[in-house]
Amino acid sequence: MDYEKIKLTFTKVHVYRDADDDGSGNWYFIAKVDGLPVGDHNQIFNAEEGRSIPLPEGQWETTINVRGRELNSNPVIVRFQVKDSDFISDEDLGTTERRLFMDMRQGYFDTRTDRNRYFRVHYKVELMVMGQFGFHPPDAVFATRQHFGSLSCTTVSGTSFMARMEICPILPIPADASLPPRPRIADHLRARNIIRHDGIEVTPNDPINVISNPSAIPILDPADANANTAARIEFTYYHPRTLHFTDDDPRLEWSIDPIQPSVPAGGLVRGDARFLGPGSTPDGRNSRGTRVLVYGTAEGEIRLEMRFQGTLFATYRALVLPVRQIRYRANILNGPGSSQPRSRPGHVRDHIAIANRFLRQMAIELVPDNDATVSNGARPTEFPGIFRIIVSRGVTREIPLGGWTRAIKLNYREGVLNIAYVHSARPTRRGRSGPLGAADSWLANGAGDRIRDTGKPSTSWIRPSGIPPDGDPVEQVMILLDAREEDPARFPRLFGMYITNQSGDPDFPGNQLTYGSTIAHELGHVLNLNHREAGGLDGLNNPPNQNIMHPDEGADLAQDFDIIQTRAVHQSRLVQP
């Protein structure tokens, strides 16, 4: 790497006294840097008092490699000697000497000779940063080295500090206590966290990729890959903030590392992907900046690597998967009188759209069932896949717990997710509110009752995460929900859930998010995911609140699905191959 070079260029010599009694002087220069000659000392210049002698470009310059050199004890020595050529003997007009130490200042400098003040020599010092010589800001980093947990950076002005970059796969980001430890930093090296600890307000009109840092990068046709469809991967933390990284910062280089899948089950092979967008190279193999867009080209597993001036700075692991579809039917079950679901067909369509934005993190998409067969008096609405059914009050109101729900069996088709919109369900405790919804029927997962993941970084950064200074991850084992079927002979391949009015007025945008997130959560159960929380039933303990499968957390915080969950859901029998 060549960023530890300096270039010194002698630019001109100003003449105070030409040392000749008659007419102008005939000067020549003997320049040495670190003892090595620079320029042509045989070249004679006409020296007129009060004027400057410009030195020809490209001849009076030298490049010095200072890599590994301890400049404070072994400085670069710059000598410049001027002589006046004479017929009898040349007169020495003096020598200037400058020592360049570690605080390698850049810019234009000059040095005057002390002797009779004959001349002043001008030169400039440039440092090579990013392969280019030039004058760089004093806080620009020109040297980086990897350390345990951080990167050691040296700035142009010679200051050294520890830098760190993170691309957290969990969004919103958990509190620091739940993340791999960060090496201590001095107060003046404050961090920059741009991504919030709160969730985002997902709406039906948002781009499908609105949630960044997904666990799955979708395989897309290059013609369909764009800023609204590709996976958005972005940094979540860096320090010090004085690095002032920008979205397309050329100092940050991304590459794709196809890795051998940690779990061969599921037929995964080495995945592959391409970057797109203005920062990416024409072949899509590299990109730059703090944020990148990626789309998949081969199913498997990959690691994105971000380098800061050539040194590995941060990594991000993801699965590369085709977007697999789940067909759904949503039935609004209208009872007599006030026993009505509050959601109308247009609301339901919006709830599904919001759920799809959460599910995109796992490369899963809900699509309307296009089969025209209906049962139980279901009547199609203006929206495909959404029906209304008139039912007795007991089917839609205060529906029971601990048994089997009639609501989810109405108008169901085998292998199609059946969503029943009902008025209410019985609360789990007297005086409490009833549930927002519940998954009620599903088949066992193709992976069995457990699924494993051993990649680095670990899924949801469960510690040891593989994020320095954490050690290498250990295998994570997630416990899956077993089948829940009332009577497979009578109701074969029934996948169902119900959604109640408990999420509130569906006309209110905040409630819309709750409805959509509830569908995503309950679908997670239908796809065999257990609850995720510290000490949760899926056996994993991170993140504390941010996973969609958290049992109690609100839709404004619980928004994440992770890699091991994604692995599992793609092996559900509900997911179209």
Partner 1 sequence: MRYLPLILLLMGLSLLQTRTQPQAAWSFYPKTKEVRMAQTEPSKEEQRALATEALALAKSFRPEDHSLLLQKLKSEEFLKKLDSEKAYEGSSNRLRLRYILQILSKNPSPSARSTLVALTQTPDFYKESARADLLIDACAEVRPAPPEVIKFWNDHSQPDDGFTHLTIDAVVENGSEPAIALLEKKMADMKHDEEDKLSWMRSSILTHRNDLVLLQACERMLGGSLSEDLRLSLVEVLFDYRPEWFPPSVVLKPPDRGQASPQALAQLRKIGEFALNKMNLKEDLRKKVEKTLEEIKEKR
As measured in angstroms, the least distance from the Cβ of 368 to partner 1 is: 21
Q: How many CB atoms lie within 10 A of CB 176?
A: 12
Using CA atoms, how far apart are residues 343 and 227, in angstroms rounded to an integer?
32
Binding-site member from 65, 72, 74, 433 for partner 1 (CB under 8 A): 433
Nearest Cα to Cα of residue 445 among 324, 550, 268, 565: 565
Q: Does 337 bind partner 1 (CB under 8 A)?
A: yes
Q: Does 485 bind partner 1 (CB under 8 A)?
A: no
Q: Are 229 and 270 contacting, i.e. CB atoms less than 8 angstroms apart?
A: no
Q: Are 143 and 154 contacting, i.e. CB atoms less than 8 angstroms apart?
A: yes
Q: Does 335 bind partner 1 (CB under 8 A)?
A: yes
Q: Does 107 bind partner 1 (CB under 8 A)?
A: no
Q: Which is nearer to partner 1, 188 or 432 (CB)?
A: 432
**Residue type (1 letter), 417:** L
Q: Does 492 bind partner 1 (CB under 8 A)?
A: no
Using CA atoms, how far apart are residues 312 and 442, in angstroms rounded to an integer?
44
Three-state SS sequence of 253-281: EEEEEEECCCCCCCCCEECEEEEECCCCC
As measured in angstroms, the least distance from the Cβ of 359 to partner 1 is: 18
Using CA atoms, how far apart are residues 434 and 443, in angstroms rounded to an integer?
25
Q: Which is nearer to partner 1, 224 or 449 (CB)?
A: 449
Q: Which is nearer to partner 1, 188 or 430 (CB)?
A: 430
Using CA atoms, how far apart are residues 498 and 508, in angstroms rounded to an integer?
20
As measured in angstroms, the least distance from the Cβ of 572 to partner 1 is: 15
Binding mask 378-417 for partner 1 (x = CB under 8 A): -x--------x---xxxxxxxxxxxxx-x-----------
> How many residues lie near partner 1 (CB under 8 A)?
54
Binding-site member from 92, 192, 537, 556 for partner 1 (CB under 8 A): 537
Q: Does 428 bind partner 1 (CB under 8 A)?
A: yes
> Which window, 87-95, 268-276, 278-286, 336-344, contacts partner 1 (CB under 8 A)?
336-344
Q: Are 451 and 567 contacting, i.e. CB atoms less than 8 angstroms apart?
A: yes
Q: Does 502 bind partner 1 (CB under 8 A)?
A: yes
Using CA atoms, how far apart are residues 405 and 313, in angstroms rounded to an integer?
52
Nearest Cα to Cα of residue 330 among 372, 376, 398, 383: 383
Q: Does 530 bind partner 1 (CB under 8 A)?
A: yes
| 353 conformational bin, left if phi > 0, alpha if psi -120 to 50, beta if neither | alpha
Q: Does 339 bind partner 1 (CB under 8 A)?
A: yes
Nearest Cα to Cα of residue 306 among 257, 241, 239, 370: 257
Q: Are 318 and 305 contacting, i.e. CB atoms less than 8 angstroms apart?
A: no
Binding-site member from 4, 34, 482, 556 for partner 1 (CB under 8 A): 482
Q: Does 481 bind partner 1 (CB under 8 A)?
A: yes
As measured in angstroms, the least distance from the Cβ of 435 to partner 1 is: 5
As measured in angstroms, the least distance from the Cβ of 360 to partner 1 is: 22
Residues that bind partner 1 (CB under 8 A): 334-335, 337-340, 342, 379, 388, 392-404, 406, 423-428, 430-440, 481-482, 484, 501-502, 504-505, 521-522, 525, 530-531, 537, 551
